[in-house]
């Protein structure tokens, strides 16, 4: 019985690691993830980049990056038409910490968009020079 317990334990640990890597966008991701500093440099040097905030309306209203467009993750798939005009441009996707933006980037990529996930979300973006509106 002890052998089965050990096998179950290792299978559970591997499954947990795979889930964690997937949720971070480290595996099975067909989009790039970049640091907040890289995102800032991209925004400063490329005016064709769009910032997409996928947090809730309340989070957005409390603070957001200047010129960012809000489409909360929960309604993103239903509202892709709002960003259809920028389908061929890079879309920098952010949330609070970077977790929801990975999910949003997967949705965008699956629908033909070019998402770039910002690791660390707006928390990291505050420290590299982004203009945060309160």
Q: For residue range 63-110, list pLDDT tens digits in order.
A: 999 999 999 999 999 999 999 999 999 999 999 999 999 999 999 999
- What are the pLDDT digits (tens) for 6-60? 777 777 777 677 666 666 656 656 899 999 999 999 999 998 999 999 999 999 9
Query: In 10 A of CB 83, how many CB atoms?
Result: 18
> What is d(CA 103, CA 22) in angstroms, rounded to the nearest whole number?
10
Percent of the chain with pLDDT over 90: 74
pLDDT mean across residues, the chain: 90
Q: Give 39's strand partners.
A: none
């Amino acid at each position: 019985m002890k052998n089965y317990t050990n096998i179950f334990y290792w299978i559970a640990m591997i499954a947990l690691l795979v889930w964690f890597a997937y949720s971070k966008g480290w595996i099975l991701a067909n989009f790039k993830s970049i640091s907040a500093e890289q995102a800032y440099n991209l925004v400063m040097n490329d005016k064709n980049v769009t910032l997409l905030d996928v947090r809730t309306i309340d989070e957005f209203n409390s603070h957001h990056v200047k010129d960012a467009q809000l489409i909360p993750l929960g309604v993103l798939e239903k509202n892709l038409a709002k960003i259809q005009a920028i389908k061929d441009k890079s879309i920098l996707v952010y949330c609070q910490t970077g977790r929801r933006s990975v999910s949003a980037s997967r949705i965008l990529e699956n629908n033909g968009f070019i998402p770039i996930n910002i690791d660390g979300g707006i928390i990291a973006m505050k420290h590299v020079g982004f203009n945060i509106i309160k």
